Structure 1
Amino acid sequence: MARIGFFGCAATLPASAGGSAERRGDAFEHDLEVAALRSGFAAAGLELVEIDWQAPREAFAGLELVLLGTAWDYQDHPQEFVARLDALAAEGIDVCNPPEAVRWNLDKRYLRELEAGGAVTVPTLWLDDADRAEIAAAMDHFASDRVVIKRQVGAGGLGQHSFTRGTLPGGDWRMGRPCMIQPFLPAIREEGEFTFVFIDGAFSHGVRKTPAGDDYRIQSLYGGSEAVFVPSPGDLATAQAVVDALPFADLLYARIDMVRLPDGRLAVMEAELIEPYLYPEQGLELGERLAAAIARRLRN
């Protein structure tokens, strides 16, 4: 039986797999995904092994392939993370997605490359840092009374801020890192963010993610909720075009997150290639689809 590693981190793994006693508030997503994959993998003769990506190298002995899973602290250790992937790949372990895709996807400036290739993206200002004056200037630039500022290297909405003209940060506030500023899009609250999950380049399932209460963040950490989303042919074609435009031909999975602009077009929020949650509750065949794709890789 082929052994397949599933990366986690101390804050997502259960204690039985080496996780910490106090897990993240969204660690239940790790459990849901592992359960779905374990079931699908078993039927395909694959064994799923949960493992901390920072575990000693000998812990990876005998693995044929690793999934980047819920390594949800990688953004705090990007160089160490990529170095671990390179080391595993150099020893003949199939890394999914591969190190070169991770390098490209780590910094959200990849969105500029997608835009240059014809994809519709959310209007964005890219800055080495930002202060109160630059937040106000961004509102003028976008003709918007509200903006969202994010890390260029970040994940899960962590370290993210939203400001209005009436709630600008204090005069001594700084983001303190390379960042991106975008106009707040009302569609996030009106219809949500749409996720398109692809396995081996083929559409698997769709998800509509909506925020809770007065929040704008759709992640479960902030009370967001998910529902099955069946995209129209046009919306699916738009997402598929983004996948087709990615500069990699060997991706096991891709999650394309999109939001509708005021003019009705779907725009890319993120092309998640590293460690995205793949929503097994909305994609009931996720385990079987990934198992079949992995089996094909192992046979080649």
Structure 2
Amino acid sequence: MKKVAYLASRVTIPGSMIRRTDAFEHDYMMDALRPAFAARGMEIVDVCWDDPKADWSSFDAALIGTTWDYWDRLEEFVATLERIGKLTQLHNPARLVRWNSRKTYLRELETKGARLIPTLWLDHCGEAEAKAAFDQLGADTLVFKRQVGAGAKDQHKLSRGEPVPEMPHAMMAQPFLPMIQKEGELSFIFIDGNLSHALVKRAQPGDYRIQSSYGGREEVIHPTPEDLAAAHAILGALDEIPLYGRVDMLRGDDGGLLLMELEVIEPYLYPKEGPELGARLAAGVARRLGTS
């Protein structure tokens, strides 16, 4: 039987004393993957990416799963992935992870046709830089995000004149778009370049963050051909199609979609909203292992 590692973290692995409040999403993923992989003669096992006892050569493949602490240990994380990739098949590959780990990748996608929210890149974001950003972007409310980060960690929504919190990381600033509260954020989950499912993620009333840890909720959608084409074009800008990817988008004032994120490291893939996800991922891994 082929054995596949699902890379988790100490903040998501079952039984951890420091488990995140949204780690139930890890459980949802494993519940979807285990039977689907077993049906193809594979066993999938969740392992912490930084487990010093892990024998990566004992696995036929490894999937990056819920490694939801990497952003504070980026170089260690990427170095570990590079080591894993030399010992077994790794998806997605470490070179793609390194590129995707810093949100400046969005600038490269923009040169290839992606439509972005206007963005100011601030490698140093002190009070002066933050205050100047309002005039530079021509907006009275901005969202400041870490260039290396996820899950709205250390993210700030500020209006002109409000106190500026300490932001010790390299940041990106964007105008706040009310559409996030009106329609929500659209997510398109692709396996091997093909749409698995799509959903809209909405914040709870009074908030703008759509993550489950902030009370966000999800609803399955059936995208229009135009919306699907916009999302698919983002993947098409890559040099090679990854095993999995999630394209997060927000509708602009003209009705077209703007790219928020292309997540190809450790995105939650919403198996509850996509009941075929497990089978699709298992089939993709089986093809790569030559057992399909």
- When normalised by structure 2's length, the TM-score is 0.96
5 Å-filtered alignment, 1:42-121, equals 42-91=38-87, 93-121=88-116
Give, in whole Å, the separation in 2 of the partners of 1:285 and 1:140: 47
Give, in whole Å, the separation in 1 of the partners of 2:176 and 2:54: 46
Match of 1:208 in 2: 200
Q: Give the superposition deviation at 1:106.
A: 0.7
Give, in whole Å, the separation in 2 of the partners of 1:58 and 1:228: 37
Give, in whole Å, the separation in 2 of the partners of 1:185 and 1:138: 16
Q: Give the superposition deviation at 1:58.
A: 4.0
Match of 1:268 in 2: 259
Match of 1:251 among 242, 252, 263: 242
Match of 1:155 in 2: 150
Q: Give the superposition deviation at 1:90.
A: 1.4
Percent identity of paired positions between Structure 1 and Structure 2:
49
Q: Which runs of 5+ in 1 are unaligned?
A: none
Q: Give the superposition deviation at 1:45.
A: 1.2
Task: Verify the 8 A CA contact 1:200 1:253 in the aligned structure 2.
Answer: yes
Q: Which runs of 5+ in 2 are unaligned?
A: none
Q: Give the superposition deviation at 1:89.
A: 1.4
Match of 1:282 in 2: 273
5 Å-filtered alignment, 1:107-256, equals 107-169=102-164, 173-247=165-239, 249-256=240-247
Give, in whole Å, the separation in 2 of the partners of 1:256 and 1:47: 28
Match of 1:9 in 2: 9
Task: Verify the 8 A CA contact 2:47 2:54 in the aligned structure 1.
Answer: no
- When normalised by structure 1's length, the TM-score is 0.94
Q: Deviations over 1:63-97 (max 9, x none)?
A: 11111100000111111111111111112x01100
Q: Give the superposition deviation at 1:218.
A: 0.5
Q: Deviations over 1:24-64 (max 9, x none)?
A: 01000000011001121111111010100001254334211
- Opposite residue 80 of structure 2, the aligned amino acid is R
- Opposite residue 12 of structure 2, the aligned amino acid is T
Structure 1 residues 58, 139: closer, same or farther in 2, change over 3 A?
Answer: closer
Q: Give the superposition deviation at 1:143.
A: 2.4
Secondary structure, counterpart of 1:167 in structure 2: coil
Give, in whole Å, the separation in 1 of the partners of 2:51 and 2:57: 11
What do you get for the CA RMSD once the two structures are aligned?
A: 1.3
Give, in whole Å, the separation in 2 of the partners of 1:213 and 1:134: 31
Match of 1:31 in 2: 27
Task: Verify the 8 A CA contact 1:129 1:174 in the aligned structure 2.
Answer: no
Q: Give the superposition deviation at 1:250.
A: 4.6
Secondary structure, counterpart of 1:212 in structure 2: coil
Give, in whole Å, the separation in 1 of the partners of 2:117 and 2:111: 13
Task: Verify the 8 A CA contact 1:135 1:168 in the aligned structure 2.
Answer: no
- Opposite residue 106 of structure 1, the aligned amino acid is S
Give, in whole Å, the separation in 1 of the partners of 2:289 and 2:241: 13
